[in-house]
Structures are given as C-alpha cells and as structure tokens.
C-alpha cells in the first residue's frame, strides 16, 4: 500500500509539466509530432516549402496563444490525420496502439507455454554408472595389455 501511495504521488508531480506543455507548446515540440505532407518525414527533419509553411503556421499559432491541441486540430483540419506523427488514440486508429501490445502479450504467452510444455515433456532419466570391476571402470582388454607393456618399460 505504501508503494502505491508513492507511485501516485510521483505521478502527480508530472501533471503540471504535462498541462504546461499543452498550454504553452514550443515549435520544437510540435515539429517532432507533425509530419511533412510532401516528404512524409517529421517536420523537424524536412526543409520542403510545405514544411516551412507549416512551421510558420505553428509559430503564428503559438504567438497567438493557441494550445497544442488547438494547433494540432487546425493542422488535421487542413491536412488530414496523416499529418500527425502518431495516430490518434480513438476509433479505428486505436488498433495501431493496441495491436503491438496484444502481439507482445500473445507472443510471451506462446513462448511461456512452449517452455513450460518443453520442460514437462522430458522425463528425468537417471544417469547410470558404468559397471565396475574391482572398483575400476572396465577397460578394453587390448588397451589394458598395451598399457601394462608401456608401464613395464619404465620400471
């Protein structure tokens, strides 16, 4: 319960930052959230005339005091949803956010199930000790004869 309270308090610390970003957006922030309609790259990476026109629109909107949501809404109205770098989190576009998460969870479940099945399918086989004679492991008779001859030479 204590950790939950700490997590909630930490989350509340970031609320003013998020609302400040919404109320007072920067050109740099919006450039990384909007696509250039000509070259299909982020606005911050494009130097096309269309990108420069959109950057000027954003500068004017920021100077006017528009919020980030208002600026994005105006851009979507003029250029369509394709201008947003990330799809909106509603309607059919919600699938773009949910499918990767569902895919990762499904893959984890499949891999976990396969690993569990694999670990359960092999019975543990006891390792049999080799038969011994006089406390020694058995040796090929020919190898034992040659070993005895070699040891006799050194004695």
Give pLDDT, residue 88: 67
- Say if 99 falls within a structural domain: no
Give pLDDT, residue 11: 63
Alpha helices in the chain (DSSP H): 2-13, 15-23, 27-31, 49-64, 68-79, 94-121, 141-154
Give pLDDT, residue 70: 92
Give pLDDT, residue 8: 65
Those residues of the chain that have pLDDT short of 70 are 4-5, 7-23, 88-90, 92-93, 122-137
Residues 6+ apart with CB under 8 A from 74: 57, 61, 66
Give pLDDT, residue 59: 92
Into how many domains does the chain fold?
A: 1
Cα-to-chain-centroid distance, residue 137: 54
Q: Which of 61, 60, 91 is nearest to 73 (CA)?
A: 61
Q: Give me the CATH number covering residue 74.
A: 1.10.8.640
Residues 6+ apart with CB under 8 A from 28: 44
- Say if 104 falls within a structural domain: no
What is the CA angle 85-88-89, rounded to 5? 135
- Say if 98 falls within a structural domain: no
- Say if 35 falls within a structural domain: yes
Question: In the structure encoding, which two tokens stand for residue 37, read together?
Answer: 């309609």
Residue with tokens 């004679």: 133
Q: Which of 25, 15, 19 is nearest to 70 (CA)?
A: 25
- Say if 78 falls within a structural domain: yes
Give pLDDT, residue 15: 55
As a whole number of Å, the CA-based R_g of the chain is 35
Give pLDDT, residue 131: 60
Give pLDDT, residue 103: 92
d(CA 132, CA 95): 67
- Say if 119 falls within a structural domain: no
Give pLDDT, residue 90: 64
- Say if 9 falls within a structural domain: no
Give pLDDT, residue 44: 86
Residues spanned by the domain of 39:
25-92
Question: Does the global pTM surpass 0.85?
Answer: no
- Say if 50 falls within a structural domain: yes
């Amino acid at each position: 319960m204590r950790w939950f309270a700490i997590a909630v308090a930490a989350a509340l610390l970031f609320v003013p930052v998020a609302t400040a970003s919404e109320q007072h957006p920067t050109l740099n922030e919006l450039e990384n959230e909007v696509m250039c309609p000509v070259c299909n790259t982020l606005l911050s990476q494009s130097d096309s005339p269309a990108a420069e026109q959109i950057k000027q629109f954003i500068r004017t909107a920021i100077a006017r005091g528009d919020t980030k949501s208002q600026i994005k809404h105006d851009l979507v109205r003029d250029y369509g949803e394709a201008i947003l770098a990330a799809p909106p989190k509603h309607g059919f576009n919600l699938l773009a956010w949910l499918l990767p998460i569902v895919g990762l969870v499904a893959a984890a479940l499949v891999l976990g199930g396969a690993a569990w099945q694999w670990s359960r399918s092999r019975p543990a086989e006891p390792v049999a000790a080799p038969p011994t004679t006089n406390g020694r492991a058995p040796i090929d008779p020919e190898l034992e004869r040659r070993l005895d001859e070699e040891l006799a030479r050194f004695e």
